[in-house]
């Protein structure tokens, strides 16, 4: 009996270290550093030139932690964050290796880089139209039933709101299937034309017209009351821009300001303007009148005129409403503007200039591709995803000259031409570009 007890005692003693070791292993595993996320989802899609920030998110970080980001077999960063950007389309695998307490952990994700898709809203030869450019191919006339002379397409929450000068003045299109959800066909003053559109919040928008600006219920897409101070307005050209506190509308060559929260009238800014608006990186809002820019503080509403150097004047359409071509860089404190050139009784928009709002210097950014080429529609727009500048040039003249239209894409910093997209062969009369 004593012998049996002794054997059991010895077996228990031998088992103790193993139990202790097993518990120790569990403790070690529970305190090992782990990479929980790289800050973006695996399979995230971005466009060429777009910047995306990756960030190491760890659990149980202890002691000194070393980071190593790599892609295509090369180490690209040793910080806890990594900024990825590429002009090469395809799938890019990014791997993070984290080392702490002589233990290494690794996690990889794929980022897909594609050519930027976009939409072109066309005035049209008859009724307006929308074309989509995706994967370097055109999809033409993706929606039916627009009004005559479409001007802009504003994208919000999976829908595009398309404005036309003639009824239907506003069309709501589902971007998943390109089907019309609803439209506004009446309710404007007699002979009024739709011009532009602004999203105020998830429930309300503003439709500007040649006879004032109207509230729009986004859910039912119904026309509401006209904004105050615009009752007697007619034959107007109205651009619109929303900031956190205020909404700015160009009206009769001046600027009317409304409170964003309730759309009540705030004040007039009594500078004459011909086209607007663009907001630079420092938050300043800008409009233009010939060789002058109007500079507006969007918090205090303080404003002043700034004269452009070297006799430069900003182009705008003197004969009919077209959306503004005044644009702002997403990477620099600068504006892009189209140079106005007068030839006899004709006025053209030719070269593109970049205006540095800090130094007040204007430099040639992009030259017209030929002497007989001028901008059409808004002319210039900036892709908010990567800062590229899109410029629509058409051939001077009438009739078949309008068939010779192309879209030029330039690097937003250097002005270097990146691509020319063919838009010839049809009387599209492109007005603006919309980026999703």
pLDDT at 60 over 90: no
For residues 352 and 395, membership in a common domain is answered with yes
**Per residue in 209-218, pLDDT tens?**
999 999 999 9
- pLDDT exceeds 80 at position 9: no
Q: Which pair of structure tokens corresponds to residue 31?
A: 């305190």
Using one digit for the tens of pLDDT, what is the confidence trace for 218-248?
A: 999 999 999 998 876 777 889 999 999 999 9
Q: Which two tokens stand for residue 97?
A: 């290796």
Model pLDDT, residue 231: 72
Structural domain includes residue 364: yes
Output the CA–CA distances (angstroms, integers) from residue 41 to 33, 109, 428, in the order listed: 20, 8, 39
For residues 39-68, give the mean pLDDT: 94
Q: Do 38 and 147 belong to one domain?
A: no
DSSP state of 50: -
Query: What average pLDDT score do residues 367-393 get?
Result: 98
Cβ atoms 60, 33 nearer than 8 A: yes
Sign of CA pseudo-dihedral 183, 187, 192, 194: negative
* Residue 267: band (very low, low, confident or very high) from pLDDT cuts 50, 70, 90: very high
Q: How many domains does the chain have?
A: 2
User: What confidence score (pLDDT) does residue 236 get?
Assistant: 81
The answer on 248 and 152 residing in a single domain is: yes
Q: Answer yes or no: do 140 and 109 share one domain.
A: no
Q: Which residue has the tokens 């509308």?
A: 249
Residue 26 resides in a domain: no
End residue of a domain, out of 113, 128, 162: 113
For residues 108 and 169, membership in a common domain is answered with no
Measure the N-to-C terminal CA separation of the chain; round to a whole number of Å: 85
Tell me whether residue 12 is in a domain: no
Which CATH number do you get for residue 54?
2.60.40.10
pLDDT (tens digit, 9 = 90+) per residue, 95-115? 999 999 888 999 999 999 999
Give the residue, 434 or 32, on which the prediction is more confident: 434
SS3 of the chain: helix, strand, coil, percent, to 5? 10, 50, 40
**pLDDT value at position 436?**
86
pLDDT score recorded for residue 313: 97
pLDDT, tens only, 397-420: 989 999 999 999 999 999 999 999
Same domain, 238 and 189: yes
What confidence score (pLDDT) does residue 372 get? 95
Domain stop point among 55, 78, 113: 113
Q: How confident is the model at residue 61 (pLDDT cuts 50, 70, 90)?
A: confident
CATH number at residue 273: 2.130.10.10
pLDDT band at 8, cuts 50/70/90? very low
Question: What pLDDT is recorded for position 26?
Answer: 47
- Is 16 within the bounds of a domain? no
> What pLDDT, on a 0 to 100 scale, did the predictor assign at position 281?
98
pLDDT the model gives residue 28: 52
Q: What is the pLDDT of residues 154-205, one digit of tens each?
A: 999 999 999 999 999 999 999 999 999 999 999 987 789 999 999 999 999 9
Q: Do 152 and 267 lie in a common domain?
A: yes
- CA distances for 250 relative to 105, 197, 318, angstroms: 57, 13, 15
> CA–CA distance from 314 to each of 69, 266, 291, 337, 379 (Å)?
46, 28, 6, 6, 12
Last residue within a domain, chosen from 85, 113, 141: 113
Q: Residue 147 in 3-state DSSP?
A: coil
> In terms of domains, do 212 and 296 share one?
yes
Q: Please give the pLDDT value at position 395.
A: 96
> Domain range holding 136?
116-434
Are 283 and 134 contained in the same domain?
yes
**3 in a structural domain:** no
Asked if 374 and 350 touch (Cβ cutoff 8 Å), the reply is yes
Residue 250, classified by CB atoms within 10 Å of its CB into exposed (0-12), middle (13-18) or buried (19+), is buried
- Nearest alpha carbon to residue 62 among 32, 96, 37: 32
Same domain, 277 and 200: yes
Region 40-48: mean pLDDT is: 97
pLDDT of residue 337: 98
Main-chain dihedrals φ then ψ at residue 200, nearest 5 degrees: -90, -50
By DSSP bridging, strand 265-269 and strand 254-259 are antiparallel
Query: d(Cα 257, Cα 247) in Å, to the nearest integer?
Result: 6
Rounded to an integer, the average pLDDT of 64-87 is 96
Is 385's pLDDT higher than 70? yes
**Could you tell me if residue 6 is inside a domain?**
no
Specify the pLDDT at position 312.
Answer: 97
Whole-number percent of the chain with pLDDT over 70: 93
Q: How confident is the model at residue 29 (pLDDT cuts 50, 70, 90)?
A: low
Task: Check whether residue 126 and residue 107 sit in a common domain.
Answer: no
Q: Does the pLDDT value for residue 25 go beyond 80? A: no
Neighbours of 348 (CB within 10 A): 17
Q: Is the pLDDT of residue 17 over 50?
A: no
For residue 75, pLDDT beyond 90: yes
CA distance linking residue 303 with residue 287, whole number of Å: 11
In a shared domain, residues 417 and 276: yes
């Amino acid at each position: 009996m004593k012998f049996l007890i002794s054997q059991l005692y010895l077996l228990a003693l031998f088992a103790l270290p193993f139990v202790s070791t097993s518990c120790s292993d569990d403790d070690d595993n529970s305190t090992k550093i782990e990479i929980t996320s790289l800050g973006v989802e695996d399979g995230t899609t971005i466009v060429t030139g777009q910047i995306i920030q990756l960030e190491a998110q760890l659990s149980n970080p202890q002691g000194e932690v070393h980071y190593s980001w790599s892609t295509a077999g090369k180490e690209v960063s040793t910080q806890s964050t990594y900024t990825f950007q590429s002009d090469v389309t395809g799938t890019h695998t990014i791997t993070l290796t984290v080392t702490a307490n002589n233990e290494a952990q690794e996690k990889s994700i794929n980022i897909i880089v594609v050519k930027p898709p976009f939409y072109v809203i066309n005035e049209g030869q008859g009724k307006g139209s929308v074309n989509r450019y995706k994967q370097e191919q055109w999809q033409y006339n993706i929606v039916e039933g627009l009004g005559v002379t479409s001007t802009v397409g504003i994208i919000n929450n999976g829908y595009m709101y398309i404005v036309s000068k003639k009824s239907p003045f506003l069309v709501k299109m589902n971007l998943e299937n390109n089907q019309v959800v609803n439209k506004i066909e009446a309710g404007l003053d007699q002979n009024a034309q739709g011009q532009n559109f602004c999203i105020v919040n998830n429930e309300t928008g503003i439709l500007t017209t040649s006879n004032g600006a109207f509230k729009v219920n986004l859910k039912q897409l119904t026309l509401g009351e006209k904004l105050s101070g615009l009752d007697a307005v007619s034959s107007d050209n109205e651009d619109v821009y929303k900031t956190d506190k205020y909404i700015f509308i160009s009206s009769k060559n001046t600027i009317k300001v409304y409170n964003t929260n309730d759309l009540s009238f705030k004040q007039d800014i009594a500078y004459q303007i011909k086209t607007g608006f663009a907001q630079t990186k420092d938050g300043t809002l800008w409009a233009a009148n010939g060789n002058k820019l109007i500079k507006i503080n969007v918090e205090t509403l303080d404003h002043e005129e700034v004269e452009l150097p070297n006799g430069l004047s900003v182009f705008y359409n003197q004969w009919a409403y077209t959306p503004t071509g005044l644009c702002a860089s997403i990477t620099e404190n600068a504006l892009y503007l189209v140079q106005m050139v007068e030839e006899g009784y004709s006025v053209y928009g030719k070269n593109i200039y970049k205006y540095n709002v800090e130094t007040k210097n204007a430099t040639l950014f992009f030259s017209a591709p030929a002497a007989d080429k001028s901008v059409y529609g808004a002319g210039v727009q900036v892709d908010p995803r990567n800062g590229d500048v899109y410029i629509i040039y058409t051939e001077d003249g009438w009739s078949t000259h309008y068939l010779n239209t192309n879209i030029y894409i330039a690097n937003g910093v250097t002005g270097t031409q990146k691509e020319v997209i063919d838009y010839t062969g049809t009387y599209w009369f492109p007005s603006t570009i919309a980026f999703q």
